[in-house]
Structure 1
């Protein structure tokens, strides 16, 4: 199947790169909280790789909403927030960094100079003080807010820990991981620059007080983590690195790592019970697996 190309309004917002450059202490904090997790998750992941038994709503929109989206598809910066998938042809644009469906992994990297348009500070409880990682693309930030609000109504309190990261931030973060754990280990738990989904502005790592606001696989066993697993797709998010799938995704189980795809695509991926890579292949998109 050929990939549909969406024409986006070009432009690089260089000033945003300067807005939230992570401080050394923030990066060290991120790395420090992961050290115990590296050992725990590596053991779990080794066992899970021997057994890979990992286990649409929102389609009926009003005519007025459909017409509004059609009228707004004129290539402006705001329009990029509605570009998801062509439901009829099931074509997705996995190469365009501005696409909600963009694929960023060890085989498909983002341009060094790519900065998302419409970055916005999230309006939810956060953990770390650095302003850069409190950002997401506007459509994802709003969806995150909706999800956190819905969770709170069910007495589920979530916190946002790490969202957008620039290419330069990821350079430093990967160096820190590699220095502390070795490059081979770091490559399992941290993305190399350009390969991180965080650079898309479509990701937020979430946590809860039940795991001391850390990023840990234990989050998946908490009531908050279970709620996220069962409900995130209804707000356009998927758990990007599910359990027992590191041979496909290239990364260990990360129940905290939420990737925004938009409601329809997220629901389709969720219903398929596949990783995003596997889902794309099943739909005929020509991609390589790491």
Structure 2
């Protein structure tokens, strides 16, 4: 598959350029919410270690409350008391039938169980969640195990199932060079900023699930906002360099993904927040009503809290109650019920027939 071609279909050039021009993440830069400065952090961003809250710094463009572009810097910062201008309703609903939202010639995720084959690469990828019975779940775990989905290439370990919804990307497992998800769309949900940016995108199946999750939270009287989804390799480079420059190499490697190892690049992960912390990204989000609701209900819509409170030794990252990862309903519920991280769940040594 020609990934560059897929991207052009999925995201108009103007949007792509705006996402790249306004990319970044770091200590004294513009915020990832694009609405105002906020405190917080992501696995791809800088964090402060002395307050119990984590501090995010990320590269993107910053928009003011009226939705107009306010600044265009090479870096961004999230600080504590951001305001947003209300929901930014993006026009690309990801759960409709329009092919205009997906990449031409690339494999599409479908909502049934089983797998699909990418006609361009011949790669077989898992589609939506399998049935919830133990045998089906075990089969998916075996097919997607850490041990069976990795190869050494150019001196680094690279995943061989980048388009699978069960792909595991972390500090030790890189995406292929130049990887761009084949079916990026903009979910029709409320964002913490106005306009459509690179980070507004997710893969089609994940975007549809996010719409359902946000609809359910709204029904329960909550105000979740999407903050940061897809993150290109180029943007990761800017984020990582800025974090090293402002926080040092050792600290950065504990909280920030090296380029090519960010789960955001898969298009299956997104950071979300709520009004209780000014739509920022910080650990205190976990104690808000939105954070508590998300932890309880995310698995019902196919998402897990990717970096759990006690999972740093497994995931490599500190707790991020705002970072959710789409994995499919059956798997998300099984992972959560077992109290595992995705690394633990897909490790062959933890599988039992």
Common fold: TM-score over 0.5: yes
Within 2, Cα distance between the matches of 1:268 and 1:241? 16
> What SS is found at the alignment partner of 1:113?
coil
CA deviations on 1:20-75 (whole Å, 9 max, x unpaired) are 33334764324774578822577579xxxxxxxxxxxxxxxxxxxxxx94799464
Gaps of 5+ in 2: 55-110, 131-135, 150-158
Out of 57, 78, 82, the position equivalent to 2:127 is 82
The structure with more helix, counted as a fraction of residues:
1
Q: Which residue is 1:232 aligned to?
A: 298
Equivalence for 1:5: none
- Please state how far the C-alpha of 1:134 moved relative to its aligned partner: 0.2
Give RMSD over aligned pairs: 2.9
Residue 187 of structure 2 is aligned with which of 90, 106, 122? 122
Aligned to 2:162: 97
Q: Compared with structure 1, are the counterparts of its residues 71 and 257 closer, same or farther at alpha carbon in structure 2 (3 Å cutoff)?
A: closer
Contact 2:40 2:282 in 1 (8 A): no
Q: Which runs of 5+ in 1 are unaligned?
A: 1-9, 46-67, 286-290
In the other structure, the counterpart of 2:271 is 205
Q: C-alpha distance in 2, partners of 1:100/1:206?
A: 19
Alpha carbons of structure 1 residues 102 and 17: separation in structure 2 relative to 1, 3 Å: farther
Using the TM superposition, give the Cα deviation of residue 178 of structure 1 relative to its aligned residue in structure 2, in angstroms: 1.4
SS of the residue corresponding to residue 244 of structure 1 reads: coil
Q: How does 1:30-179 map to 2 (within 5 A)?
A: 30=31, 33-34=38-39, 38-40=47-49, 69=112, 73=116, 75=118, 82-84=127-129, 86-87=136-137, 89-90=139-140, 91-93=142-144, 94=149, 95=159, 96-128=161-193, 129=195, 131-179=197-245
Three-state SS of the structure 1 residue aligned to 2:167 is coil
Whole-angstrom CA distance in 2 between matches of 1:267 and 1:70: 16
What is the rounded CA distance, in whole Å, between the counterparts of 1:35 and 1:126 in structure 2? 16
In the alignment, which of 4, 7, 11 is matched to residue 2 of structure 2?
Answer: 11
The alignment's TM-score, normalised by the length of structure 2, stands at 0.64
Does 2:341 align with 1:275? Answer: yes
For these two proteins, the number of residue pairs brought into alignment is 253
> C-alpha distance in 2, partners of 1:22/1:218?
30
- Report the 3-state secondary structure (helix = DSSP H, G, I; strand = E; otherwise coil) of the residue aligned with 1:168: helix
- Structure 1 SS opposite 2:276: helix
Give 1:219's aligned residue.
285
